Amino acid sequence: MQTNELNIIMVAPRMIGKTSLLAAMHEEFHKTFERANLQTWTDDSKTLQAITECKQVLKTIDPKFQKSVETTKPELDPWNDEGFVFELGSGGRKFMAIRFTDPTGEYFATNSTQRQKDYVKQRLLKCDAVIIPIDATALMEKKTGRVNYSEVGTWHEEKNDPERITTLLKAAYAGLSVPRLVILAPVKCETYMRTSQDAENLLQHVQIGYQKLLNFLKSDGLFGKVAVVVTPVQTVGNVVFAYHKTRDDGFIKFEYNKTEIKAPYAPKDGDQPLRYVLRFLLNLYNEEKKRQLEEDQKELSELEKNLSKEKDERDEAKQKVAEREKAFIERKQTWLPIRFVANLFDDAYTPYKEAKENFKSTEKTVHETQTKVKNSEIKVQATQKEIDIFNKAIFSFAIGCKNSDGFAILQGAKWLPIPHN
């Protein structure tokens, strides 16, 4: 975990709706964090610009969706894509940074360049959480209409490419030793979330359509390390699937209509992936902080023991000074000839001088250790306060997490604990 930075990556082929999903999540940032009593700081970036432009298009889109969000263009060098970074904190103090990376879908294709493949693998290795947007229409529709109980959509393999996603995660998660979160996020799913039954049907088809991936994540080496969550997001709101058509280039395009001509951009459940991501990441962060707190408390305890011992040594040195001072004064008060002879055999001043120097040294040591104890106490208190702040935030995120009507934790609930408030 690099300098308290946590990383999330969006993984999906081209034109699935990664940026639209990120836009729907971004729409919920302010109120989600505000309710958790957290502050955010955001720097401008290409990804943030893309999110803003995406939201602008969706807010002004026509009833027949003739306008569309532009796909993210690949960088000449994929490593130039720094993603969308925001810092998280409380009371004006920044605790951590969270980085969302939204690579263009071209990077995930089998015909991507070797540098793009290396970039994807390294990002997947580094990222604490992976969000996989799923084109719900491709999953749920076939040429003759809605899929049946055990089917997947005609265009699911072509558009969502679950085989490729599985291959990428297999390569990245081989020998995984740290916890990870995988979120399957059906997007453009308004048509399939109208009723609880519709939503549960969508959830079931996500599990069918990504069976190979889910089986891999359930394997012995990963089951205890990977949390898997399904969070559908209605990325536009107020729209329904109308029909599909084949473009001149052979590309299948899904057409949508607004439920009302003037229906506004109203994404729904954009907070859900965000809530689960933060619930997972902040729990990870807090576990690291708890380990740090334990080490800091041990260090403080050791310092306090040392301080107690050093104070005893200082008190002994102080007593020794008093004894030597008394002997020195008594010597000074003796008759001069006797004092002269006595000093030849037993110098009273040198032991007194040495005792004072020793006391001064022990006093300095005590002062230095007291400073260390004070700094250590401040450190322990600050870490404990940070843990408490994030425990409250995790609780706030968790109580708003949906876990029914199409939403589900499929595995790894232990990585998503709810702290006592």
pLDDT tens-digit readout, 124-170? 999 999 999 999 999 999 998 899 988 999 999 999 999 999 999 99
What confidence category does residue 332 fall into, taking pLDDT thresholds of 50, 70 and 90? confident
State the average pLDDT for the chain: 86
Phi-psi region of 283 (alpha: psi -120 to 50; beta: other; left: phi over 0): alpha
Same domain? 257 vs 318 = no
Residue 338 maps to a domain: yes
pLDDT tens-digit readout, 184-241? 999 999 999 999 999 999 999 999 999 999 999 999 889 999 999 999 999 887 888 8
Q: Indicate if the pLDDT at residue 1 is higher than 50.
A: no
Same domain? 64 vs 193 = yes
Per the structure, the complete domain to which residue 122 belongs is given by 4-269+402-415
Same domain? 17 vs 134 = yes
Residue 43 maps to a domain: yes
pLDDT of residue 80: 73
Contact call for residues 52 and 82 (beta carbons, < 8 A): no
> Which residue type occupies 357?
E
**For residue 160, what are the β-bridge partners?**
none
Same domain? 117 vs 239 = yes
Report pTM.
Answer: 0.82
Same domain? 178 vs 325 = no
Calculate ∠ Cα 22-24-30, nearest 5°: 100
Residue 421 maps to a domain: no
Same domain? 159 vs 200 = yes
Q: Indicate if the pLDDT at residue 375 is higher than 90.
A: yes
Same domain? 218 vs 140 = yes
Residue 313 maps to a domain: yes
pLDDT of residue 2: 42
Same domain? 46 vs 163 = yes
Q: Where are the alpha helices (DSSP H) in 333-348?
A: 336-345
Same domain? 221 vs 366 = no
What confidence category does residue 70 fall into, taking pLDDT thresholds of 50, 70 and 90? low
Same domain? 160 vs 296 = no
| Terminal Cα-to-Cα distance of the chain (whole angstroms) | 26
Same domain? 150 vs 133 = yes
92/168: higher pLDDT: 168
Same domain? 232 vs 307 = no
> What torsion, rounded to 10 degrees, do the Cα atoms 137, 140, 144, 145 define?
-80
Please spell the DSSP secondary structure of 98-117, one letter per residue: EEEE---GGGGSTTS-HHHH
Instruction: State percent of the chain over pLDDT 90.
Output: 51
Contact call for residues 97 and 5 (beta carbons, < 8 A): yes
Instruction: State percent of the chain over pLDDT 70.
Output: 90
Average pLDDT over residues 360-365: 96
What confidence category does residue 112 fall into, taking pLDDT thresholds of 50, 70 and 90? confident
Domain tally for the chain? 2
Residue 207 maps to a domain: yes
Nearest to 128 by CA among 326, 278, 307: 278
